[in-house]
């Protein structure tokens, strides 16, 4: 065109800029525009800004944007959306505050997206107020953005108010509300909202199925998952690759691995790495490491390139099959590949070595990591706890906290368990203080139970009693913890009293509860109550007695002088008696002069290969009369 002597106009420049993708080409076009009569044309410059943002060159885009004298809404939105899409939240918000034209729905949606990602609740509220005063207040897409922002910022009640305030058959606000409920652990409510969505003839789209299937995954509710799969099939949506993958993932999360594999094998499109990753993860999480690793090898044979999630799944599979040797092999492949390890993959490598018992290798890799997050620290702390290195686990936990990382509930509970095992009361109290100082953790029953256990195991039964009394809600673990604490301290009356209160409170006792109650009856020689509780366990609560329960009842019978009944129970119980059973009976025979039965008990001890000087003394005294 230029060679023919024609001069480009604004439309030409805009069209050429829009068609360019390379930065060098764009720089050439920009130079031509600067030398033309259109160097200050807002339409031309807007096209140039959009072209630079598409190429990923935000710095050049911003330079052109700043040079526009009379910016219009398109100018502002081009730059705002670019910052939003590339995750530059702070730059986007700074630009929004400088905006001197009235925003539109695109602007507001981008800003609310940044507020969600950065959890900027106050700014989100400010934007909400502006939207409410604008002509976009009934826009369903903006309602969805507001619902998402409030959900991500932890204010689900505000999200619900936005949802309830908009009457729309557009699926986006419904999808956002369902997603928010799932995020906040209210997946059952999400299922109810999906049913209402169908009843009110709201259009159900691909995103609707993705969000509601995530609720089924959270609940591991196979029945609801099957119903939603059937609904998607009836609507012809089940062949959509994204929906198909979500359904397949639901079956995996609901532990229907074979059903998931059948669906995976029937999928028409298997070039999608997401499907392979989901199937590998399903096998790995179900402890079927061999099948996970076979699928990982098949994936490569099929020409599907593994990504970081693939490698993480394969590493996880090594903990149940292949061990650290196979894990090290996969680690080598990662190193040789083009994949750049990030915190996610580094954490998977640490986890693999730790769970395979290679703590030194795991710790060595952990120390070399350039970047760590709370998950990485938690994985390493958890590994030490699982391997029984409680002191080392606590030391690492203290390092984690000192470096500013927030431990999760699981990590805090693990650290408290370590404190209880080694009697680290001061460290336990420090963890208690941290929990009290964190508002979201203060009423967490899981952590309250862990604290209760720590204080009871560390001998601070008075503190444990106070904590137990102050619990707003108690589950069977709460009751068992305080009952076990009193049982270990020999407080027979308190154990029996607490058991009665537990039943009155509507919490069913379990095998741990009855083990403590029977132990208390044994120590106190309460024959009738011991037998009554044993019968109640089997008759009222359908709990199959374990060896501990039988041993306690043998002890109760022996102490009461019922040696014949104790021997009969020891012989009839569906477990091989341990030495303690026969030594208990031998002691009772000595006390009550049951020589013949005592000799039989001693013979049973010897048959178990158990030799103990005190047993010989008891037998000698018994025979000597």
State the burial class of residue 551 (Cβ atoms within 10 Å of its Cβ: 0-12, 13-18, 19+).
buried
Q: 390 to each of 425, 428, 450, how far by Cα in Å?
A: 13, 12, 15
pLDDT score recorded for residue 611: 52
- The two most distant CA atoms of the chain are separated, in Å, by 129
pLDDT score recorded for residue 370: 85
| Helix orientation angle between 222-234 and 241-253, rounded to the nearest 10 degrees | 160
- Ranges of the chain with pLDDT below 70: 1-42, 44, 49, 52, 269, 591-595, 606-625
DSSP string, 542-611: -PPP-HHHHHHHHHHHHHTT-HHHHHHHHHHSSSPPPHHHHHHHHHHHHHHT-HHHHHHHHHHHHHTT--
pLDDT score recorded for residue 616: 43
Q: Which long-range contacts (CB under 8 A, 24 or more apart) does 557-565 make?
A: 557/527, 558/584, 558/585, 558/587, 558/588, 559/522, 559/525, 559/527, 559/588, 560/525, 560/527, 561/588, 561/591, 561/592, 562/527, 563/588, 563/589, 563/592, 563/594, 563/597, 564/594, 564/597
Chain centroid offset of residue 462 CA:
34
Give dist(CA 24, CA 17) in Å, integer.
Answer: 12
Residues 411-438: b if buried by 16+ CB within 10 A, e if exposed: bbbbbbbbbbbeebbebbbbbbeebeee
Q: 1 to each of 6, 16, 136, 604, how far by Cα in Å?
A: 6, 12, 44, 106
Give dist(CA 312, CA 543) in Å, integer.
Answer: 40
Q: Is-above-0.85 flag for pTM? A: no
3-state secondary structure of 502: helix
pLDDT score recorded for residue 426: 96
Residues 192, 161 contacting (CB under 8 angstroms): no
Residues 413, 447 contacting (CB under 8 angstroms): yes
Report the 10 Å Cβ neighbour count for 346. Answer: 23
Residues 393, 362 contacting (CB under 8 angstroms): no
3-state secondary structure of 537: helix
Name, in order, each residue with C-beta under 8 angstroms of 327's C-beta and a sequence gap of 6 or more.
315, 318, 319, 352, 353, 356
The pLDDT tens digits of the residues spanning 453-510 come to 999 999 999 999 999 999 988 999 999 999 999 988 889 999 999 999 999 999 999 9
Residues 257, 288 contacting (CB under 8 angstroms): yes
Radius of gyration of the chain (CA): 34
Dihedral, CA of residue 165, residue 186, residue 449 and residue 376, to nearest 10: -100
Give dist(CA 619, CA 613) in Å, integer.
Answer: 10
Give dist(CA 114, CA 491) in Å, integer.
Answer: 58
> Which residue in 146, 172, 139, 179 sits closest to 161, CA to CA?
146
3-state secondary structure of 418: helix
Give dist(CA 210, CA 199) in Å, integer.
Answer: 19
Dihedral, CA of residue 502, residue 508, residue 513 and residue 519, to nearest 10: 80
Report the 10 Å Cβ neighbour count for 25. Answer: 15
Give dist(CA 426, CA 475) in Å, integer.
Answer: 27
Q: Which long-range contacts (CB under 8 A, 24 or more apart) does 589-595 make?
A: 589/563, 589/622, 590/618, 590/621, 590/622, 591/561, 592/561, 592/563, 593/625, 594/563, 594/564, 595/622, 595/623, 595/625
Give dist(CA 73, CA 91) in Å, integer.
Answer: 17
Q: What's the N-to-C CA distance of the chain in angstroms?
A: 124
Q: 269 to each of 241, 244, 275, how far by Cα in Å?
A: 8, 10, 9
Residue corresponding to tokens 């829009």: 18
Give dist(CA 435, CA 534) in Å, integer.
Answer: 39
Q: 138 to each of 122, 165, 290, 374, how far by Cα in Å?
A: 21, 9, 54, 40
Give dist(CA 403, CA 206) in Å, integer.
Answer: 42
Residues 327, 353 contacting (CB under 8 angstroms): yes
The pLDDT tens digits of the residues spanning 591-615 come to 666 667 777 777 777 666 555 544 4
């Amino acid at each position: 065109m230029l060679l023919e002597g024609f001069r480009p106009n604004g439309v030409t420049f805009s069209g050429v800029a829009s068609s360019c993708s390379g930065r060098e080409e764009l720089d050439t076009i920009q130079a031509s525009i600067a030398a033309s009569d259109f160097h200050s044309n807002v339409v031309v410059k807007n096209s140039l800004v959009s072209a630079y943002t598409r190429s990923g060159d935000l710095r050049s885009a911003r330079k052109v944007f700043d040079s526009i004298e009379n910016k219009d809404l398109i100018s502002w939105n081009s730059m705002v959306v670019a910052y939003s899409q590339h995750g530059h939240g702070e730059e986007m918000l700074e630009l929004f505050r400088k905006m001197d034209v009235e925003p539109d729905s695109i602007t507001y949606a981008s800003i609310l997206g940044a507020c969600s990602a950065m959890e900027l609740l106050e700014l989100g509220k400010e934007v909400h107020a502006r939207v409410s005063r604008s002509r976009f207040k009934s826009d369903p897409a903006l309602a969805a953005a507001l619902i998402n922002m409030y959900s991500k910022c932890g204010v689900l009640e505000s999200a619900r108010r936005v949802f309830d305030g908009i009457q729309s058959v557009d699926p986006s606000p419904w999808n956002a509300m369902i997603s928010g409920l799932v995020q906040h652990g209210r997946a059952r409510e999400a299922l109810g909202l999906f049913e209402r969505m169908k009843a009110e003839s709201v259009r159900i789209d691909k995103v609707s199925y993705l969000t509601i299937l995530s609720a089924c995954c959270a609940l591991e509710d196979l029945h609801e998952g099957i119903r939603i799969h059937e609904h998607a099939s009836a609507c012809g949506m089940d062949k959509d690759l994204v929906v198909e993958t979500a359904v397949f993932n639901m079956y995996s999360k609901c532990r229907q691995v074979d059903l998931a594999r059948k669906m995976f094998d029937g999928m028409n499109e298997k070039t999608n790495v997401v499907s392979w990753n989901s199937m590998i993860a399903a096998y790995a999480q179900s402890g079927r490491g061999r099948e996970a690793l076979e699928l990982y090898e098949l994936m490569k044979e099929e020409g599907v390139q593994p990504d970081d999630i693939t490698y993480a799944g394969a590493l996880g599979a090594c903990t149940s099959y292949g061990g650290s040797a196979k894990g090290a092999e996969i680690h080598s492949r990662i190193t040789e590949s083009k994949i750049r390890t990030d915190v996610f993959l580094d954490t998977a490598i640490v986890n693999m070595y730790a769970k395979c018992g290679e703590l030194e290798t795991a710790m060595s890799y952990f120390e070399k990591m350039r970047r760590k997050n709370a998950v990485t620290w938690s994985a390493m702390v958890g590994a030490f706890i699982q391997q029984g290195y409680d002191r080392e686990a606590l030391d690492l936990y203290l390092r984690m906290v000192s470096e500013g990382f927030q431990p999760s509930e699981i990590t805090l509970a693990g650290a408290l368990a370590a404190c209880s095992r080694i009697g680290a009361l001061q460290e336990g109290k420090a963890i208690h203080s941290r929990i009290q100082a964190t508002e979201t953790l203060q009423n967490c029953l899981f952590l309250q139970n862990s604290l209760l256990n720590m204080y009871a195991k560390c001998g601070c039964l008075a503190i444990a009693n106070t904590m137990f009394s102050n619990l707003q809600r108690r589950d069977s673990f709460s009751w068992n913890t305080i009952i076990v604490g009193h049982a270990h301290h020999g407080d027979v009356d308190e154990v029996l009293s607490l058991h009665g209160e537990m039943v009155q409170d509507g919490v069913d006792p379990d095998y741990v509860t009855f083990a403590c109650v029977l132990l208390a009856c044994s120590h106190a020689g309460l024959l009738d109550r011991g037998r009554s509780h044993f019968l109640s366990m089997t008759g009222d609560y359908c709990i199959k007695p374990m060896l501990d329960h039988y041993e306690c009842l043998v002890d109760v019978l022996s102490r009461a002088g019922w040696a014949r009944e104790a021997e009969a129970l020891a012989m009839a119980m569906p477990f091989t008696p341990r030495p303690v059973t026969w030594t208990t009976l031998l002691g009772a025979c000595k006390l009550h002069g049951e020589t013949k039965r005592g000799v039989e008990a001693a013979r049973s001890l010897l048959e178990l290969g158990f030799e103990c000087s005190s047993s010989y003394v008891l037998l000698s005294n018994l025979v000597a009369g």
